[in-house]
Amino acid sequence: MTKFRPLIKNLTPWIYDKFMKQEIKYKADAVLNSHIAEWQSWLINERRYSPHTLDGYARDLREFIDFLADYLGHNINTSDLAEIDIRDFRAFLSDRAARHIEKTSVARELSTLKNFFRWLGRNRILTNTAISVISTPRRPKLLPRALEVRETFKLLDVAKKFGREEWQGLRDAAIFTILYGCGLRISEALALNVGDINHNDFLRIKGKGNKERIVPLLPIVKESVDAYLAACPYHLTNGEPLFLGARGERVSPRIVQRTLEKIRGFLGLPDTLTPHALRHSFATHLLAEGTDLRSIQELLGHASLSTTQRYTDMQTETLSREYASAHPLEKA
């Protein structure tokens, strides 16, 4: 670790802390560990991946390295990675299947491995094209799950009651209102800084891949944020984190998720209610009110219209289910 400390010091403080605290350990020798650090530095500094995405990549690679170390009986080095063949990759996939790992997770892990091996090849560290022959498991077609409008309003109405302190409840209510009112991802909402909202009519958001989009700001969103800011005990200045935790640090996604779990239980809402479900609800409710797909695509920041079209599929599925349950022939 000490040999490549100067290298990883160039990473963002969040990633640097991850390495220093050894939260993600690899069964690899020092040389391979240094290459992994270089790859992660490239992902965040050149590819502009978010810390959340990078954390996922790091954990995916660890799963493979750990499997390979157990499979070969020793810590992995670059020579091992150069010599493994298609049978070894298939053995990894068989192990994931035996552990009942979901196909979506396996597909993501393969994507991570392909990215890592391509990077190793481009940087002339080693060449191994065996993984390119492996087909990615077909992912099940998942439709977004949205709340009903009345359920969404209930959630927003009670959210402020679940904070330990009054200002924390107002913070949570503001976060949920932004997620639903603007269709933001949780990472985008929590990345907001003081001054990003003010009294503008639009919100400028940097989403996945550092792509920027403009989202209209409803008055109720601004009112919710203003109520939180008025109650917040910390002195907030422009450019600092907007949503704070109990100790004055930027609030973590897990805090928001736990609060939503409590609300979910209180209101008897399904387990599918997550912060991301509020973004799905935003899109689904707009579509139901006649907003065109292209506009929803822009508001969500989807690169492809096909991603947004999932909401049409979901609306059709819901309509079919309601039709089947209500039609007299179904009751005959």
| 279 is a catalytic site residue | yes
Q: What is the mean pLDDT of residues 99-116?
A: 91
116 belongs to a structural domain? yes
Query: Is the same domain home to 166 and 110?
Result: no
| Domain end position, chosen among 133, 163, 198 | 133
Q: Minimal CA–CA distance to 280: which of 315, 321, 317, 311? A: 311
- Residues 82 and 172 placed together within one structural domain of the fold: no
Of the listed ranges 45-54, 90-99, 266-275, the one predicted with least confidence: 45-54
Yes or no: say if 155 and 267 are a contact pair by the CB < 8 Å rule. yes
Same domain for 127 and 157, yes or no, is no
Q: Is residue 140 part of a domain?
A: no
CA angle at residue 81 from 86 to 84, to 5 degrees?
A: 25
Q: What are the helix (H) ranges across the chain?
A: 5-8, 13-20, 30-45, 51-72, 78-83, 86-98, 103-122, 149-158, 166-182, 186-190, 219-231, 253-267, 275-288, 293-300, 305-308, 310-326, 328-331
On whether residue 83 sits in a domain, the answer given is: yes
What is the CATH classification number for the domain harbouring 290?
Answer: 1.10.443.10
User: Is residue 235 annotated as a catalytic residue, yes or no?
Assistant: no
Q: Which of 1-15, 152-166, 293-307 has the lowest mean pLDDT?
A: 1-15
Are residues 153 and 117 part of one domain? no
Give percent above pLDDT 70 in the chain. Answer: 81
Q: 18, 279, 280, 285: which one is catalytic?
A: 279
Whether the predicted pLDDT of 20 surpasses 50: no
Clarify whether residues 57 and 85 are in a common domain.
yes
Least confident of 20-24, 29-33, 76-80, 122-126: 20-24
- Return the sign of the alpha-carbon dihedral for residues 85, 80, 83, 62: positive
pLDDT at 139: 61
80 and 161 inside one domain? no
Can you give the pLDDT at residue 310? 65
Q: Which of 2-11, 16-25, 27-36, 131-140 has the lowest mean pLDDT?
A: 2-11
306 and 191 co-located in one domain: yes
| 120 and 180 belong to one structural domain | no
How high is the mean pLDDT of the chain?
A: 82
d(CA 280, CA 119): 34
Provide the domain limits for residue 98.
2-133
Q: The pTM is what?
A: 0.56
302 included as an active-site residue: yes
pLDDT in tens, 273-319: 889 889 888 888 888 788 777 777 778 877 666 656 666 655 555 54
Q: Which of 57, 180, 228, 311 is an active site residue?
A: 311
pLDDT score at 4: 39
Statement to judge: residues 77 and 115 lie in one domain: yes
CA distance 54 to 174: 28
The DSSP result for 219-266, as a single string, is: HHHHHHHHHHHHH-SS---TTSBSSB-TTSSBPPHHHHHHHHHHHHHH
For residues 266 and 182, membership in a common domain is answered with: yes
* The one catalytic residue among 185, 213, 280, 285: 185
Catalytic residue among 35, 213, 222, 302: 302
Catalytic residue among 62, 114, 276, 310: 276
Torsion of CA 244, 247, 249, 250, to 10 degrees: -30
Q: Known catalytic residue: 185?
A: yes
**Pair (320, 172) in one structural domain:** yes
Please state the rounded mean pLDDT for residues 223-237: 93
Q: Is the same domain home to 72 and 25?
A: yes
| Last residue in a domain, options 101, 133, 165 | 133
Average pLDDT over residues 256-265: 92
Tell whether 243 is covered by a domain: yes
Q: Is residue 85 part of a domain?
A: yes
How far is it, in rounded angstroms, from Cα 215 to Cα 298?
8
Within a domain: 118: yes
C-alpha to C-alpha distance for 279 and 184, rounded to whole angstroms: 6
Count how many domains the chain has: 2
**Looking at residue 283, what is its pLDDT?**
85
pLDDT digits (tens, 9 = 90+) for 162-199: 888 999 999 999 999 999 999 898 999 999 999 888 76
Specify if 164 maps to a domain. yes
Given this model, what pLDDT does residue 305 score? 63
pLDDT of residue 313: 58
Active site residue 323: no
3-state SS, residue 17: helix
Domain final residue pick, 98, 133, 168: 133
Question: What share of the chain has pLDDT > 90, as a percent?
Answer: 48
Residue 318 within any structural domain of the chain: yes
The arithmetic mean of pLDDT across residues 81-93, rounded, is 94
Catalytic pick among 208, 250, 264, 310 = 208
Which pLDDT belongs to residue 19?
Answer: 44
Note the pLDDT tens digit of each residue in 42-52. Answer: 998 888 887 77
